[in-house]
Amino acid sequence: MEGHYISLSINVLALFLLTLYVPQAAGQRQPLYSALYVFGDSTIDPGNNNFLATVVKSDFPPYGRDFPNGRPTGRFTNGRLVTDQLSELIGLPDLLPASLDPEFRGQKLLTGASFGSSASGYADSTSIPLDVLPLEKQVENFRLYKARLAKQFGHETANKTVSQALFAISGGTDDFANNYFLNHITRKKYTVEQFQDLMLKSLTVFIENVYNEGATTIAIVGLPPFGCLPSQITLHNIVENTCFEEFNEVASSFNSKIKALLEKIKPHFPGAVIAYLDIYDKILDIIKSPSKYGFEEARKGCCGTGLLETAILCNPSSISCAEPSKYVFWDSFHPTTECYQIIANNLFQQALVVFNSPTRRN
């Protein structure tokens, strides 16, 4: 009974806070955070790879089909990313800019950016072969951004903006799906557990680096059930044609390790709140019960056959579905913007509880 009341209290708190912070007309409320800074992979990259010499790009149709004017921006989906929608939910602009975009300047500097890079991961061996930004380079770019912010608006404003911002990192899928389980050299060098530990070391260094730059609110987004991605089913479980549970177990075990790591290291970062945000359960539920969320298709993406296409394989010659809103996935690897909206809402509610708890306020 006591557990029931605790659960009820948490839900009531989340609902109360949600009523305070749901988006309203511009200017009617203060943002929950001064800025949003995100790091990671294609799920949060709004176009940084457009400015890199890499084949991992999506700055061409049909990507961006449901973006304003049908414009491809480098986002690996048909519209806005989860981070765009999360930015709007916390009261900031509804498009989170790419840090490498030449248009990222002026007043835009004050409300945050994405430093993420599609196909990047926690391990350097995931990022470097594809000429995308490894995590260390993403943090270096943040430092350069912070210097720009200070130069234009002053050190006091820069430090205040950073200290009151929400930092988030979302990655890991590429480390496993496009590196470990496709690279015999990596598998020969590490067991799954050893590779997970290598990724955790990278995560720890990331937390140390952004904390030293002034971050006080840091969200670590866990791995999704990547064994349910259409591409992974096609490549690894086509006979049964269902989620590849071995991969899901790897994701689940890594998420458990993240949570254990955060509990261990939190005392080393006084004044900061570092929290785990789960996406595994919500995404798995969407995939297992798509009709509950208004979707009709969860096995394949909207672009092309939807079974393997992503990046250049999803191109102007590809035939895409008539109604992406009925699909969980846009291509074989990335959700539709409609699915991202559900994920963003869920992450937002988790963040409200975690970062506005009595522990957070103290």
Describe the strand order of the beta sheet including 36-40 as a list of residue ranges. Answer: 112-114, 36-40, 166-170, 217-221, 273-277
The CA-based dihedral angle spanning residues 240, 302, 324, 316, taken in that order and rounded to the nearest 10 degrees? 180
Known catalytic membership, residue 331: yes
Active-site option among 45, 125, 202, 334? 334
Known catalytic membership, residue 124: no
- Between CA 46 and CA 114 the distance in angstroms is 7
- Between CA 81 and CA 75 the distance in angstroms is 7
- Tokens read off for 317: 């010659």
Active-site option among 45, 118, 331, 332? 331
DSSP letter (8 states) at residue 303: B
- Between CA 29 and CA 91 the distance in angstroms is 8
Who contacts 292 (Cβ-Cβ below 8 Å, separation ≥6)?
Answer: 285, 286
Q: Which of 41, 21, 40 is nearest to 30 (CA)?
A: 21
Please provide residue 253's backbone torsions phi and psi, each rounded to the nearest 5 degrees.
-70, -35
Cβ proximity of 111 and 36 under 8 Å: yes
Query: Around Cβ 132, how many Cβ atoms within 10 Å?
Result: 28
- Angle separating helix axes 192-212 and 245-265, nearest 10 degrees: 40
Cβ proximity of 110 and 156 under 8 Å: no
Known catalytic membership, residue 334: yes
Cβ proximity of 177 and 119 under 8 Å: no
Active-site option among 42, 87, 99, 231? 42
Query: Catalytic residue positions?
Result: 42, 331, 334
